[in-house]
Amino acid sequence: MYPFIGKDNHVLIVWGDSVDPNKLKDVVENLKQLVGPSGKVSLENAGRLSLASHAASSFDVVLSGVFFPQSIVHSVQQLGEVARIVKPQGTVVLQEATVLQNNEKSLKTVEKLHTTLKLAGFIDIKEPKSISLNENERETLKAVFNTSESLNIVEIQCKKPNFEIGSSAVLPFAKNIAATKPPSEVAAVWKLDSLDDDFETIDSDTLLDDSDLKKPDPSSLKVCGTTGKRKACKNCTCGLAEELESETAGQPKQSNQIQTSACGNCYLGDAFRCASCPYLGMPAFKPGEKVQLSNNQLKADV
């Protein structure tokens, strides 16, 4: 039957619909005699091949659709499952009905079937062999596929590569390239040895004295609104806005010996002064320093 099937082989037969069970049984019995008691012959329907969960690389030979009527149309997914369960260098033989030209149906041409086998990962794809059919068998095939086109049955034999899916190998030109690692001293270049006597660091805390750490009195920083026309800032937080509001309401003025500023930033200079600050245009001064304003500066520009 198939000369490549020998003793101790594990053979899987994938059959399609409308296959004569008696003929299938006879072929299985003949194959069991070829493989012997240590071999194994298994049967699987094409529609349940992916559901059977066969172990990977468990069959030496896979025969798919080799019984009349050849109703199996091998897809890339089905052939991919066959490639998974067949052993490396295992043999796959399939038969399929083909057409002369591509059509909208699932039937393929011989060239497209050859391409599908390549996409599934098979190698050593041999030239297709035509299977002779009589007139009655041709009409039966047309009825199975519900077509009026002329159908031809071809048999193709191929092999699985001598490696598993996902395996890796060193490229020939890479064998001569010695593996190089960066020297261990590279990382040490960027490290500073704090125990080195020649290396001195400055403690930043020693640069500050007690006067730098002392928090100033906020009242000494507030000088806005103490001369000229008092006007609170938009976001007043010093209490001047409340004081002016209480004066407008007729409440008695609260005595405050220390004049406060509306913003507390007048002494810093124009960059920190309010738009209505009377000190605009004057140089910066120390907090609490008495500053005399001229009459021109107290008058609003009209």
Q: Is residue 188 part of a domain?
A: no
pLDDT at 195: 53
Residues 6+ apart with CB under 8 A from 294: none
pLDDT at 259: 42
What gap in Å lies between CA 12 and CA 282, rounded to an integer?
101
Q: Is residue 138 part of a domain?
A: yes
Rounded to 5 degrees, φ, ψ at 108 are: -115, 160
Contact of 79 with 122, CB cutoff 8 Å: yes
Please tell me whether residues 38 and 134 are part of one structural domain.
Answer: yes
Note the pLDDT tens digit of each residue in 237-281: 777 788 888 777 765 555 444 444 666 777 788 877 777 777 777
Residue 233 marked ligand-binding: yes
Q: Token digits for 269? A: 């200079």
pLDDT at 256: 47
Contact of 292 with 226, CB cutoff 8 Å: no
Please tell me whether residues 17 and 136 are part of one structural domain.
Answer: yes
Note the pLDDT tens digit of each residue in 46-82: 989 988 889 999 999 999 999 999 999 999 999 999 9
Q: Is the pLDDT of residue 31 over 80?
A: yes
Choosing from 120, 142, 159, the residue where a domain stops is: 159
Q: Is residue 227 part of a domain?
A: yes
What gap in Å lies between CA 195 and CA 275, rounded to an integer?
56
Please tell me whether residues 16 and 106 are part of one structural domain.
Answer: yes
What gap in Å lies between CA 290 and CA 51, rounded to an integer?
96
Of the listed ranges 23-37, 221-235, 280-294, the one predicted with least confidence:
221-235
Contact of 293 with 223, CB cutoff 8 Å: no
Please tell me whether residues 219 and 100 are part of one structural domain.
Answer: no
Please tell me whether residues 24 and 106 are part of one structural domain.
Answer: yes
Please tell me whether residues 40 and 126 are part of one structural domain.
Answer: yes
Q: Which residue has the higher pLDDT, 255 or 6?
A: 6
pLDDT at 153: 94
The full length of the chain comes to 302
Residue 158 marked ligand-binding: no
Q: Is residue 176 part of a domain?
A: no
Choosing from 141, 159, 177, the residue where a domain stops is: 159
Domain membership of residue 124 as a residue range: 10-159
CATH number at residue 129: 3.40.50.150
Helices then strands, counting H and E runs in the chain, come out as 9, 6
Please tell me whether residues 149 and 85 are part of one structural domain.
Answer: yes
Within 13 Å and on the Cβ side, how many CA atoms surround 252? 3
Q: Is the pLDDT of residue 105 over 50?
A: yes
Choosing from 138, 159, 180, the residue where a domain stops is: 159
- Is the previous residue joined to 69 through a cis bond, with omega within 30 degrees of 0? yes
Please tell me whether residues 97 and 235 are part of one structural domain.
Answer: no
What is the number of structural domains in the chain? 2
What gap in Å lies between CA 202 and CA 138, rounded to an integer?
98
Q: Is residue 207 part of a domain?
A: no
Q: Is the pLDDT of residue 6 over 80?
A: yes
Pair type for strands 129-131 and 152-159:
antiparallel
Q: Is residue 31 part of a domain?
A: yes
Q: Which helix (H) or strand (E) holds 94?
A: strand 86-98
Q: Minimal CA–CA distance to 3: which of 91, 107, 72, 71?
A: 91
Q: What is the pTM of this model?
A: 0.55
Q: Is residue 284 part of a domain?
A: yes
Distances 162 to 10, 19, 57, 93, 159 between C-alpha atoms, Å:
17, 33, 11, 17, 9
What gap in Å lies between CA 22 and CA 170, rounded to an integer?
51
Residue 266 marked ligand-binding: yes
Average pLDDT, the chain: 81
pLDDT at 106: 80
